Structures are given as C-alpha cells and as structure tokens.
Amino acid sequence: MPRRLRLAWAASASFVAMPHVLIPNAALAQSQFDLETVVVQSDATAPETVHANGPPVTETTAGPVQGYRALTAASATRTNTPIQEIPQSIQVIPRSVIDDQDALSVAEVLRNVSGVQGTNPVQTPAFTSAYIRGFPAEYWVDGLTTFYNGGDRDSLVNVERIEVLKGPNAILYGGGTGAPLGGVINLVSKLPTDKAFAELGLTFGSYAYLQPYFDVNTPLTKDGTVLFRMTGEYTSAGSFIDVLETERYSFNPALTFTNKIDTTLTLQGRISSWEQQEYQGLPATGTVTGAFRLNPNMFIGPADIPNSTSRVQSLTATFDHRFDDVWSANIQARISNTKYKELAQNFTSGFDFAGNAPAAPLAYWNVLNISLYQEQQEATIVANALAKFNVGPTENKLLFGADYSRVSDDGNMYGDFNDIFTLGYVNLLNPVYPPYVEPGQSVGNVIADAQNVYNTAGAYVQLQSAVWERLHLVGGLRLANLRIDSVSPAFQTSSSMDTTELLPRVGAVVDVFKGFSLYASYSQGLKANPFTIYVGAPQPEHSEQSEAGIKFDLGYGLTGSIALFEINRTGVPVFTGIASEAIGVQRSSGFETDLLWQPDSNWQVLASYAYVDATVVDAIPGVAAAGNQLNMVPPNSGRLWVNYKFDPGPLKGWSVGAGIYAASGAYVDLANEYETSSYFTIDAKIAYEKDNFKAQVTAKNLTGEDYFVPYNYYGGRIAPGDARSIYGKVAWTFQ
C-alpha cells in the first residue's frame, strides 16, 4: 500500500506517463519463410540483414521477429526503426520467449531484460512498483498511458511482445503526470490478421493453478477488409503464501477496418478483473533481521478477510492513413474506467505504518483495519504526421506530433486509528487476529482522500536522418505542459501545479563497420508528483539521462548491446515534518549488457547482466544519509536462458530449455537499515510440438531456493520469493 501511505502522509509517487507508438498495419498476416538472406527494410532506413542459418523470420502484427530477436521497434522513435539504428537502449521480448519459458506474469518476462524489476504478481494491480535502472518505471499498453494498470495486470494472452525503453524521454512519453524516470514497459497487443486461425489452451500446475485461454482470429469479409480477433483467459490459483487465492480474467476484442492500400482503423476493447486477498508482505524483523524468524509463508490478517478487487474497461482506437510516398498520419485515442477496492488489516508499529520492527518485544505488532476505494477515468489522444524523404546522401523521417491526456482520480482511505489501541497486539510468532471490520465511510474515519485531475499536453518534433547509411541521427524537442489539481474534501485542502517547459532529445549511432556500431544519446524528463503536499506551491521534478554504448551483429547469430548510463533526478519531494519540499537529489549510474546467440535454427541463448549504482545524493533529514543506496533495487542482477530444438532428427518436435536468474541483495528502505540477501533460481522446461498440438512442462525455482525480496508496500517491506513449482500446458491450433 505505498499509494495509501502517499495519500496519508504526503510522500512522493510516480505515475504512468503517456507515450505513443505507431502500430504496424493490422492486416499483416503471420507467416514464416526461409531465404538465404532476408533483408528487412523499414520506413526508408538502412536495411537490417538476417542471417540464413538462424531461425526463420516470423511476420507479426508488431513487426518482424527472428526467433528471440525482434528486428524493429516503435517505442523508441514512434517509427518502426531497426533497433540497431536507435541511439538508446531498447530491449524487446517477443512472444516466442514468453511461450518457450511459459511465463505466468509480466514480472517473470521482464527478468530477461537487464536492470529491470517487475511488479510482484501478488501485489494489488493498483501498484506500479516496477524499476528500470534503479528508478520507478511505468507500464503502458500499445504506447498509451495505463496509469495504475488495473484489472488483470499480469495477463499475457493478448501480448505480442514487450518493449522496454530505458531512461526518461519526454519527447515520446510526456502524458499522465510526465515522463517516467526509469523508463517504459510497453505491452504491445496482438492485432487482427487476414488469416483465420484459433488457439485453445490450458495451463495447470502447482497450488491449484488453472488457466484456460483462447486466441481466435477471422476475417469478417471475403476481401479481408474487415478483420476480427479476440483473446481471453481466466485464471484461478492458490499460492505458496497462506490464505491467498487469486481469481482473474481478461477479454480483449479487436476489430480492424482496412482498404488494404493506405488506410486502417483498429478498435480494441479490454474488460479485465482481478480479485484476491490483499497481501501486505512481512516485516523486516523476523525475516532478514532480528532474533527470531517468522513463517515466510505467513499471511498477516484474518483468513476470512474479504477480497480486494480491481476492474477495468477500456476502448482504444488507432487510425493510420498514408497520403502518398512522403506523408502519413496516425491518430490514437483511449478512454478507460478503473475501479479499486482494497481491504486490509494492516500491521503497524504504533503509527509507523511500515512496521518493520515490532511494537513490543518479542514479536508483537499493532493492527489497523483499513479500506480504500478509488476510481479513475482516463482519456488520451495522440496525433502524429510523418514525412519520409531523401536529401542528398541522407534518408530522413520528420515527425510532428501533439498529445493530450486527462485523468480523473478520486480516492478515499478509511480507518479508525483507535484500532491501534483497542484491537490489542498480535504476536506474529503465534498469531490470533481480531475480526476484520470494514471501517465506516464517515468523515471521522477518513485517513486520506483526494479528488485529483491530471492534465498533460504537449507538442513535439523529431528528425531522424541516416547519412551515407552509416551515421544515424535523432533529434527532437517537446513543448510540455503539466497541470495537477488536487482537492481533499475531508481536510478542506487544495493544491495545483501548472508548468510548461521545453525538453530536448539528441542521439547518434555510427556504424564503425558492418555489424558493429557506437552510439550516444541525451534526453530529459519532466514529472509532477501527485498526492504530495508541499511547503508552498507544488513543484515538478526533473530528470536527465546520458547514455553511450555499443550495438553489434557479429555474424554466427550473435547480437546484442552494451551500455553505460547515468540518470540524474532533481526536485524529488522530501518530507520535512509538516509537508514536502522539492529538494531531493538522486542519481543512478551503471553498466548493462543484453546478448542473444542464435547460431542456427536449433539453439537460442539469451543472456543479460546489469550493475546499477542508485544513490541518494543529498541527505534526507531523518530518513537517509547522502550516499545511501535507493531501496528495492539489487546492484547486480543477471539472466541466462538456453533453448534447444531437436529438429530435424528422430526427436523432431521436442525441445528443452533451462535458465538461471541471479540477483544480489537489495535494501528495503531508504535508511538502508534492512537488506535482503543475494539469491538465484533455476528454471527448466521440456516441450513437444507436432502439427496443431503442443504440450509443455515447466519447472520454476527447480532447486527450491528460499529467499526474500523487497516488497514495495508502505515504503518498503519484505516478501518471500516464489517457491518451487511445476506447470503443464497443452494447446491446440486450428487453421
């Protein structure tokens, strides 16, 4: 419940900013082809060569993919540019990786990307506690803001790929409450194609996990001008954590109208729900420190506590039109409604809501019944005009765009502070919890309330130029406006912020020789901090990133990137006893690499590593000393995954895979008082595929490693890592 803490105690928050990406033509069919050399040409950029010995190229509605390698990406430029020509670190996890690893959550997929920590799947979908390069990151869907990303946040049935853009970039993503600090996790949806097919499947396994799903696509007209696709899944699951039972579903219809020449309109719907007991984590004392040890699988609170819920409905429209060989336009819009209900018997240490130390020895904590109700209504529109032209030795893309988003966010948090005294202590070594009684919704029980309206508007221009097909330049400017109006009816307070700034982005890639490039880039971000009460007028925070690195395609299927980066964050809200002042300074710097080796159509080896040094630059009085490490982020983390297909041969159709993920310990709090230990987990899978049938068995945390991770709840608690589990999957495809 870090969001509740921000509401109640005026701490800072990070919220989803609005980007935009150009969605590829929705009428693209999925197909595979083998050629001696395949050249991928994208929007007047230099072609990208695909080696014949690697896996076949698959054309998807999100762009071409060769095995585990996406050849283009839209997130970094809003144009489908070859990744090797983008002067910034962007990693793409295509559907093939998700399927081979049988990932069950977005966080599990993100382990494949260096320096990224996803939101813990047991957390309420209201939380956006993902991190990239040490700073909070934000989730988007198809390039548009999703704010808290409600409903079934971890549903993967409708995900074609996940694109991770690292660092602040206000040129592309300035909606919501401004440019995200750590970067963007963009979930790219599946879209209709002109080939009819259907896939039906079932995943089942440990802790009563059951997930039936479907993916149905069909043209609605003989000429293929009206296309329909719908995906959906339902999940029912227990947990290695006591009490927890999750029920969630997601249905995603999409309808495309196209003249198959120059115009496409796609409508996408989403109906999604999540329901589970609110998991608040564990205190640091009794898990990673202290003279006693709590049951790591403990659920704190009565077993019969009512479920928390999150539900969302949204409609997205994307219109693409090509006027001629030079000019094209794209308009994207989304409206959505999201509702949250969160119910918890929160453990505290008196009025210390983090509660990482007991209120009384040896293991006694206070408890407080809390409820939160929140509703968000969101409207976003983005319009772009793109010109492609050549001048002398240069090939150019000139992008003009404007965007506007409005989010209405109303929330009320209720609780009776007398509970801390009247409900008595709970001994977590032998807990007996008082009944959960939902707090009355009277003014006297309001812990915090807010009626917030976030308005973001911007206009931008971006030029991409390829000079002699060896030097690739990107430059852009955004005129950004942020406005937040916040009212607390219960406490009769109000605040507002309105700021306008000009933000730049520049970068260059130099092809030193074929398959080896150097790049450097610089970008800025501007972000507001809602739910923060300031001394004086509210202030935005600023961020800037410098990055340099290497991108390579060295033949024999070896591709990847190496990057050095530094992100500076200023104007961070610091609570000074009565309210907050925008005086905080934080810095993150480090090194990362992402590698992929596909020497032939059988082997696929994916590897990543990141070193992140994220620190408090200026001391926060009473909270953190200068030089303290930022919490939630391991300084070292890495992933290795190997997949092998027995094809051709007597074992044709069979494949095996195995992987390891490792991370160093991370601090739980900014004071650096509590720290988790390093750990590693091993996964493995075996699969068989023939004709229209596929079966797979996957083991996760194969060695049963016991470990803890920081849990972003009331500023920092502890959660146990995933236990050993085994899952089976069967699927049938019909064409």
The CATH number of residue 399's host domain is 2.40.170.20
Mean model confidence pLDDT for the chain: 89
Looking at residue 687, its pLDDT comes to 98
pLDDT digits (tens, 9 = 90+) for 242-291: 999 999 999 999 999 999 999 999 999 999 999 999 999 999 999 999 99
d(CA 305, CA 303): 6
Residue 459: CB atoms within 10 Å? 16
User: Is the pLDDT score of 22 beyond 60?
Assistant: no
Residue 177: CB atoms within 10 Å? 30
Which of 147-161, 170-184, 439-453 is least confident?
A: 170-184
Average pLDDT over residues 95-100: 97
Three state DSSP letters for 531-582: CCCECCCCCCEEEEEEEEEEEEECCCCEEEEEEEEEEEEEEEEEECCCCEEE
Looking at residue 495, its pLDDT comes to 84
The H-assigned helical ranges of 327-458 are 419-422
The total number of structural domains in the chain stands at 1
Burial zone of 297 (CB within 10 Å; 0-12 exposed, 13-18 middle, 19+ buried): middle
Tell me which amino acid residue 116 is: V
Looking at residue 42, its pLDDT comes to 39
Looking at residue 540, its pLDDT comes to 87
Higher local confidence (pLDDT), 687 or 80: 687
pLDDT band for 28, please (50, 70, 90 cuts).
very low
Taking the model in full, what pTM does it have?
0.92
pLDDT band for 76, please (50, 70, 90 cuts).
low
Half-sphere exposure of 403 (CA within 13 A, CB side): 34
Domain that holds residue 678: 2-734
pLDDT digits (tens, 9 = 90+) for 585-627: 999 999 999 999 999 999 999 999 999 999 999 998 888 999 9
The H-assigned helical ranges of 158-303 are none
Name every residue whose Cβ is closer than 8 Å to that of residue 313 and which is 6 or more positions away in sequence.
Answer: 269, 270, 271, 272, 336, 337
Which of 2-16, 37-51, 539-553 is least confident?
A: 2-16
pLDDT band for 168, please (50, 70, 90 cuts).
confident
Higher local confidence (pLDDT), 26 or 299: 299
pLDDT band for 145, please (50, 70, 90 cuts).
confident
